[in-house]
Amino acid sequence: MIMRTIEEIMPRMRGLGKVLAKFNMVERNSFDFGIGIKLYPSEIHTLSAVDQLGGCGVTELARESGVTKGAASQLVSKLVKKGLIVKETDPDNGSKVVLRLTDLGREASANHYKFHLDHDRAFIDYLCAMPEEELRMFDEICSKMDEWMDNYQK
């Protein structure tokens, strides 16, 4: 196993910090995904998660999105007010609420998917062309970064 010094790693950490700072700037901008309503990335990603799950509860949405139930609940409330999500009673469990997209919410989610296919094409192609071993390493790095960020939330 190769062991590097912190002095060798810190320039890479600064490079990662630069990417994360850019990501943070993108997260602060709202976009119109073809429905006449501007949505922040957290809002459109919430719509996409509900869409992909085919309807879900707030707990499942929070788990899927990597946020607290409180944060997921706040996002859902905003999206209900914007007419993009509806809350329905679960027919199998009357005490449970199921989140579903409205037609407008489904349209925004579909347009968001198309946006990423177009906008992120070069990076998607890069990942698609990666050898399996490198893609596994990419997955492992993402997993370790997820754990790393969890430590900041404690």
Assigned domain for 86 exists: yes
| CATH code where residue 53 lies | 1.10.10.10
Domain count of the fold of the chain: 2
Assigned domain for 4 exists: no
pLDDT of residue 96: 85
CB of 74 within 8 A of CB of 68? Answer: no
Please give the share of the chain, as a percent, with pLDDT higher than 90.
84
pLDDT above 80: residue 153: no
Which residue is it, tokens 């998917």?
113
pLDDT above 90: residue 2: no
Are 112 and 125 in the same domain?
no
Are 148 and 85 in the same domain?
no
Assigned domain for 90 exists: yes
Q: What are phi and psi of 90, to 5 degrees?
A: -65, 120
pLDDT of residue 17: 94
Strand, coil or helix: 3: coil
pLDDT of residue 94: 78
Strand, coil or helix: 142: helix
Are 61 and 130 in the same domain?
no
Which residue is it, tokens 């990501």?
23
For the ranges 47-51, 133-137, 147-151, the lowest mean pLDDT is seen at 147-151
Which residue is it, tokens 């060798």?
8
Identify the domain containing residue 139 by its residue range: 120-154
For the ranges 104-118, 123-137, 139-153, the lowest mean pLDDT is seen at 139-153
Could you tell me how many residues make up the chain? Answer: 154
Structure tokens belonging to residue 108: 């925004």
Are 67 and 108 in the same domain?
yes
Confidence of residue 151 (pLDDT cuts 50, 70, 90): confident
pTM of the model: 0.84
Are 109 and 78 in the same domain?
yes
Structure tokens belonging to residue 37: 């309503």
pLDDT of residue 79: 98
Average pLDDT, the chain: 93
Assigned domain for 91 exists: yes
Are 92 and 129 in the same domain?
no
Assigned domain for 143 exists: yes
Return d(Cα 145, Cα 151) in angstroms, integer. 10
Of 26, 35, 56, 57, the C-alpha closest to 112 is 35
pLDDT of residue 10: 95
Assigned domain for 3 exists: no
Are 46 and 98 in the same domain?
yes
Are 90 and 141 in the same domain?
no
pLDDT above 80: residue 154: no
Assigned domain for 18 exists: no
Of 73, 76, 70, the C-alpha closest to 43 is 76
Assigned domain for 37 exists: yes
